[in-house]
Amino acid sequence: MRDFNENTATAAVIERMEGTKDARFKQIITSVVKHLHAVVREVEPTMDEWMAAIQFLTATGQMCDDKRQEFILLSDTLGVSMLVDAINNRKPSGATESTVLGPFHVAGAPPKKMGDTISLDGKGDPAYVSGRVVDEQHKPIGGALLDVWQTSSDGAYDIQDPNQPEMNLRGLFTTGPDGRFFFRTVKPSSYPIPTDGPVGKMLIAMGRHPMRPAHIHFIVGAPGFEPVTTHVFVEGDEYLDSDAVFGVKDSLIEPFVRHDDPAEAKRLGLKNPFYTAEHDFALVKKRAGSK
């Protein structure tokens, strides 16, 4: 096609892809082209505005490295991550709901024994987190693996903060036959996602704040069951209704109860006063086609 204009543009690009052999790729890229062209037709950007968009995406990529993933932040803050998550995690009622992985998960967290602490520096309000991993009939699942990570009481992950020990507030726990888990940590706090890059500038332009409500991350899985990536949020946090990445679900909110009981603190291996929180994770058996 030589007569490429605003009326023929979309058809011309799609026609040029007729030789695509991968049917799924063809379906996806065709939809991307159609929607991208539709946006351009709707907003009619100037050349300077389109160049600004290109520069924004370029800067987003330039902010990515082995410890920082600005494109995940972009996906999260536009609600795309949660939309993809919802589509890919349609589960029966009663199963633990999923939420975003986020950009700060680190592979290779250290295995821990039940009751161990994941706080390597001890900074923050002591907390004891416990619960069970169960199936859809609420029967305990032994051998379930929980990958746990969170921010410090200052609102930073270890890979963001050079003053924290490596692998601080991270750990792997494996349930016994009773399906129970329990570990010591510190009460998480709300925190801002990084705002020193293009995503932060975008949020400011949108009139939005960058805050996430306090939470602990979990990936929970067991042989024969579909894993779930989720959070446990702190009840009463001021940002529960305005999470910057749209990750909050009512079923994932739990009270972190404050206790002033020296004897119980000693029994749990915590300093007094301390907090406790409890949450059960319900897994679904693997279905046909699931990974």
Span 192-241, pLDDT tens digits: 999 999 999 999 999 999 999 999 999 999 999 999 999 999 999 999 99
For the cut 70, the answer to whether the pLDDT of residue 291 exceeds it is: no
Asked if 258 and 235 count as a contact pair (C-beta separation under 8 A), the reply is: no
Over pLDDT 90: what percentage of the chain? Answer: 93
- The set of residues, in sequence order, having a beta carbon less than 8 Å from that of 264 and lying 6+ positions away, is none
How far apart are the C-alpha atoms of 186 and 106, rounded to whole Å? 19
Q: Which amino acid is at 203?
A: L
Over pLDDT 70: what percentage of the chain? Answer: 99
215 strand-pairing partners? 233
- The set of residues, in sequence order, having a beta carbon less than 8 Å from that of 256 and lying 6+ positions away, is 127, 187, 234, 235, 275, 276, 277
* Short-list 234, 222, 195, 227, CA closest to 211: 195
Across residues 268-275, what is the average pLDDT? 97
β-pairing verdict for 228-234 and 253-254? parallel
How far apart are the C-alpha atoms of 145 and 213, rounded to whole Å? 25
Query: What does the pLDDT look like over 73-111, one tens digit per residue?
Result: 999 999 999 999 999 999 999 999 999 998 889 999 999
How far apart are the C-alpha atoms of 64 and 283, rounded to whole Å? 33
How far apart are the C-alpha atoms of 201 and 197, rounded to whole Å? 7
Asked if 100 and 249 count as a contact pair (C-beta separation under 8 A), the reply is: no
How far apart are the C-alpha atoms of 15 and 234, rounded to whole Å? 52
Q: Is 191 exposed, middle or buried (0-12, 13-18, 19+ CB in 10 A)?
A: buried
How far apart are the C-alpha atoms of 201 and 28, rounded to whole Å? 29
What's the confidence (pLDDT) of residue 248? 98
* Short-list 237, 235, 242, CA closest to 257: 235
Asked if 216 and 268 count as a contact pair (C-beta separation under 8 A), the reply is: no
Q: Which amino acid is at 2?
A: R
Return mean pLDDT, the chain: 95
The full DSSP string for 9-67 is: HHHHHHHHTTT---HHHHHHHHHHHHHHHHHHHHH---HHHHHHHHHHHHHHHHT-SSS
What's the confidence (pLDDT) of residue 103? 84
What's the confidence (pLDDT) of residue 2? 72
- The set of residues, in sequence order, having a beta carbon less than 8 Å from that of 209 and lying 6+ positions away, is 192, 203, 239, 242, 244
